[in-house]
Structure 1
Amino acid sequence: MSAEESATTGADASLDGAASDVVRDATETREPLPGTGGFAGETDGNLVRDVLGRRPLFVDADDASAWAFDPRELPAPVSVPAGTVAPVGERPDPEASDRRWTLPDPDPMEDDDAALAAVRDAVLARTRALGGDDSAGDVAVAFSGGVDSAVVATGVPDAPCYVAGFEGCHDVAAARAAAAEMDRDLRVVELTHDDLREAVPALVDVLGRTNPMDLSIALPLFLVAERAAADGFDRLALGQGADELFGGYAKVEKAPEDPRVAADTVRGARHELLGTLPDQAERDVLAIRAAGIEPVAPLLHDDVVAAALDLPGHLLVDGDRRKVALREVARGVVPDSVRTADKKAVQYGTYVSRELDRLARRAGYKRRMDDHVERYVRALVSDGPVTPPETDS
């Protein structure tokens, strides 16, 4: 396992994701993309978390000298902001000079062929690195049948692919079709209401979040990771970050008309969306680790990020085509039917959001109530059985 793919099991247990000399150099030079897959921890008396927050890190709200990778180890955990370098014992301030690294916003490359070649080289190098060492056999792939996870899967051609979902959902159907086209071993985690009821308390415990959106995204990841861990795998490779990096969202496509983004260009909207990655990475990494397996996101490696940042807007979104550059990179790497496939957000493509809502309504939390699903979640993680609430007037 490479340094950037390792967790706290490396030689320096106080750092997660990178060697101390790499982080030290990046700290001194203020280089935001020093060639890692993200890092967090303590070095030279400072707490550090990389510019995209790809590894979680927490300090205690009441004792800033106490920090941890797992929030459950602290009485009052608070996330360390991405890009931070701050002395241990001083609570990091995201508005102050503690923010050592900021994400570059370079001018786009003028040569489309050169821009695409740089992305292709970076993506293929990082995905192939998954299978490039003696530990390649310990990798499983989270697989939805879309271009992101399919490209990742090509890096480990012998690894099994896992998909979770309820009967009849989009993601399972898409994954089955893509796996057949790619001749891959697909293992389907067929979800039930019991799976959700049992997993929600574990996720709330580790995430400290009860909002339905975060839980609906984390639940299928957690349940896939749990199955892969039970099957004996140590790492779970994911396509996380592709939508943010390569323009996969409708709100990026529709900038500046879409009110969900403030930016007035596609590249500006992409940059805005990249700012959401630390919160997402914290959720996803903690959920997967709680299942007993280590996540690896090759499409969020610094090399891929740097190449993607150089892309002009029309190689992110062109008309109604999104993730243009990534789909071009995938040409000849995955079947065209997979390369061009539409993708649904995981919470909808797996039916997890729908079924969590159904569970809430069956328990008496009707849609006319404010935050009815979150109220159900809070009841589910409290002591004792879930009981229907008093009818709202």
Structure 2
Amino acid sequence: MRGASPDLVRRALAERDPLPGTAGFAGELDGRLVRDVLGRQPLFSERADPARWSFDHRDLDDPVAVPAGRARGTAGEAAGDDERVWSLPDPPAATDRDAALDRVRDAVFESVRSVDDDGLAVAFSGGVDSAVVAAGVPDVPCYVAGFEGSHDVAAAHEAAAAMDRDLTVVELTHEALERAVPEIVAALGRTNPMDVQIVLPLYLLAERVAADGYDRLAVGQGADELFGGYAKVQKAPDDPRVEADTVRGAAREMILTLPDQLERDLLVLRAAGVDPVAPLLHDRVVSAALPLPGELLVDGDRRKVALREAASGVLPESVAEADKKAVQYGTYASRELDRLARQAGFKRRMENHVQQYVESLVE
């Protein structure tokens, strides 16, 4: 069992407690494979023989992921059957603004300050998410990846200076992208270009971190989903990318996408040689975020209101309020992968031209 003790998971199963005080878990327990409600640890079993399982799909011939919040039988008539054992809580919206903010502040900083800094580095983009994580481990080195002139590199330099932190820049190159793509595809088992673009800078940053002697990487994953960081949440219900008719409902939709995203990110980071540490995805932070009303998620053009308010007493204002681009755009990974595809003859007029290029690199 990864991420929690067997006794704690047994208790969570018996009580149907989806948030029992962990940062996620998965593994085998009493003849079943179990994965926490947000899928913070990936878990796979062999399609024809669920008793064969692994945390890495590459160890299996025909792997099938255990869905988040499920228990999968490994033997007998229940072999291969998935039972939902945990569901994400859906509490009513908090009505006391100050109490809700206090709860977020306490949960966030207890989580980031509880991180063991042994062998740890921080993935630092200069946004509030990674800056909050970095603030919890003040003696840990910070790293940012990006092409020369990219938004993330500039933002990380500014934030590191404001926080008086050392920063290592991992400069991305076309050669690095071409080398990394087949390795990422092998780790993921998929060639979806959006997934590849998202994890390219993370993978190359993690490789550098591992080469520098660190084996754990602290990341800000989960903050955008939990605290309303997406433009499509801000624009709800007018954005066709969400079904919800409220900001709060749209944020919940994003939280429910976490299992697939976290599986992707964790597999890639481990393939690069580090274990991820995501303190903003601890159960205490999730529990504090779920009741937030819409106005503490988005207020006009300001997203992640509660997280920024929580950070305001700890981070410089310029960092707490900094805008952030999605990693594939802020690092130029998406733009430059598209450029490489076109240079290789995969023009934009061709259907799925970037995916065709990615697939050509792994043939």
TM-score higher than 0.5: yes
**TM alignment of 1:315-354, pairs within 5 A:** 315-354=296-335
C-alpha distance in 2 between matches for 1:67 and 1:129: 31
Q: 1:59 deviation in Å?
A: 1.3
Are 1:251 and 2:232 counterparts?
yes
The residue that corresponds to 1:59 in the other structure is: 45
The residue that corresponds to 1:33 in the other structure is: 19
Q: 1:73 deviation in Å?
A: 0.1
Q: 1:160 deviation in Å?
A: 0.5
Asked whether the 8 Å contact 2:228–2:304 carries over to 1, the reply is: yes
* Structure 1 residues 158-208: Cα deviation after superposition (integer angstroms, max 9, x where no partner): 111010000110000000010011010100000111111111111101101
Q: 1:62 deviation in Å?
A: 2.6
Are 1:91 and 2:91 counterparts?
no
The residue that corresponds to 1:144 in the other structure is: 125
The residue that corresponds to 1:130 in the other structure is: 115
Code of the aligned partner of 1:100:
V
Q: 1:300 deviation in Å?
A: 0.4
Asked whether the 8 Å contact 1:84–1:92 carries over to 2, the reply is: no
Q: 1:319 deviation in Å?
A: 1.4
* Structure 1 residues 334-381: Cα deviation after superposition (integer angstroms, max 9, x where no partner): 110011110000000000001111111111111100011110111101
Code of the aligned partner of 1:289:
R
The residue that corresponds to 1:226 in the other structure is: 207
**2:161 maps to which of 176, 180, 188:** 180
Code of the aligned partner of 1:66:
R
Are 1:81 and 2:62 counterparts?
no
Code of the aligned partner of 2:320:
R
TM-score, L = length of structure 1: 0.90
Code of the aligned partner of 2:55:
F
Q: 1:137 deviation in Å?
A: 3.2
Are 1:43 and 2:29 counterparts?
yes
Code of the aligned partner of 1:91:
G
Asked whether the 8 Å contact 1:160–1:185 carries over to 2, the reply is: yes
**2:355 maps to which of 362, 374, 377:** 374
Code of the aligned partner of 1:126:
S
Asked whether the 8 Å contact 2:50–2:73 carries over to 1, the reply is: no
Asked whether the 8 Å contact 2:49–2:74 carries over to 1, the reply is: no
Are 1:105 and 2:90 counterparts?
yes
Are 1:263 and 2:244 counterparts?
yes
Q: 1:88 deviation in Å?
A: 1.5
Code of the aligned partner of 1:204:
V
C-alpha distance in 2 between matches for 1:235 and 1:334: 23
C-alpha distance in 2 between matches for 1:70 and 1:224: 21
Asked whether the 8 Å contact 1:146–1:342 carries over to 2, the reply is: yes
Q: 1:29 deviation in Å?
A: 0.5
The residue that corresponds to 2:218 in the other structure is: 237
User: Identity over aligned residues, as a percent?
Assistant: 68
Gapped regions of structure 2 (runs ≥ 5): none
Are 1:195 and 2:176 counterparts?
yes
Are 1:168 and 2:149 counterparts?
yes
Gapped regions of structure 1 (runs ≥ 5): 1-14, 383-393
C-alpha distance in 2 between matches for 1:355 and 1:302: 37
Code of the aligned partner of 2:186:
D
TM-score, L = length of structure 2: 0.98
Q: 1:64 deviation in Å?
A: 2.0
The residue that corresponds to 1:294 in the other structure is: 275
